[in-house]
Structure 1
C-alpha cells in the first residue's frame, strides 16, 4: 500500500479497518477479567505481585523479543534471507519457527540511512507476539498511540533517538490483519560477529522503531 502524509509532514501508513477480532473493543473487558483474576489470586496468596511483575517484565523485554532478534541477526548476515524477509516476511519468519496468533501476516520494514520506520497501533495494541512477545505498557498507552502520529520525532527524542532533518520518518499503523517488524540498520564494526553475537545487539525497541540496536561495546558492558 502507498503511504499518506501525516499531520506534520511525515509519512503514515493508512489505517485500515481493524475488524471484529481487533482488540479495540475486546481489550477493556479482557483487561477487567485479568485484573479480577489477578486480584483473586493475590488475595488467596497464590501469586506474589512482585514476582508477577518480574515475570511480565521478563517476557516483555527478554524472552519474547529474542525471537525477533534472531530474525534480524539472520537478515544482517544472510542477504538472501534478508530479501526473502522483505518480500514475504510471514514465510521467512515462520521458517525459523516463529509463527502463530498475532503473527499470521507479517510485514518487515527496513531502516536505511534515508528512512526510519516506527510502528504504532492507534486504536489499541496490535503487536507481533511471535517475534516480540508481550507489548510493553507504553505501546498500549493512549499518549503513545496518539503522539506517535501527531509528533513522531518528539516521541523518538523522548526514547533517546534523534533523527536528522534529512531522514524521512515513516509511521506505520498495525491492524488485526497486519503486524509490522522493523529491520534496524546493522551497527558498524560488526562484520566479524556471529549470528548469536549480532542477536545480542538487537533491542526490542529497535524492532518497533523507537530505539536503535546496541553498539558491540555496549552489549559487552551490559552482560
Structure 2
C-alpha cells in the first residue's frame, strides 16, 4: 500500500491524468452514497428497480418519489473536486464520473464525462424539451404537452449513448495515469474502462477499502479528501 506523499508524487509527475470518480468523491459534500449503512438504498427492497427504466414506465410515481431524494442542490464541490479542477488547469486532465450530481461541472472542471448522466439535466419524454430541474421537483408532468419529465441519467435497463462511450474510452486511452477515486469499482461498464488504457499507463486507486483490480496498480487506502488536501497547486 502506498503512502499519501508517495501517491502525490506520482500524480505530480504524470503528464496526462484521467480520473475515474465515484460516490466517495461526493460524500464529503454531504451527498449520501448508495450502499453504505447511511446510503440511500438502506431499508429499501429492490432499490435498483426504483432507478430502472421499467419503474419509470410502469410505476412513474414510485420512480418520481424515489428520484427526488437524490437531489441535493445545496451541495457544493469539496476539496477533491476543487483540486482536480485546479490540476486540469495546469495539465491535460479528464474526469469520467459515475456520479450524477454535477459537482465536477460545478467546480468548473474543463473536461468531464458524466458517465451516468446528470440529475440537473431534465427533459420531457414526449416533446424532448429541456426543463429546469426546479420545475421537475414540483411536478413530473410537462405543463406544455402533458408528457412525462425525467432526468437525463442512465437507468437500469437502459444503454449508454455512443458519444458518452467514445469520450470516456478516448479519455482513458490518452492518459499516462488513470486514478480511480472513491468507488468500489464493481459496476459495469464503468469498471471496464481500464481495458482501453495504453499498455504503458499506470493505474492508481484511492479508496477507503481495497479494490480488486486484475491489472497491476498502486493502492492508496485512505479517505480521498485526506490525500487531495495535501496536493499543492
The TM-score normalised by the length of structure 2 is: 0.23
Which structure shows the bigger proportion of residues in helix conformation? 1
Which structure shows the bigger proportion of residues in strand conformation? 2
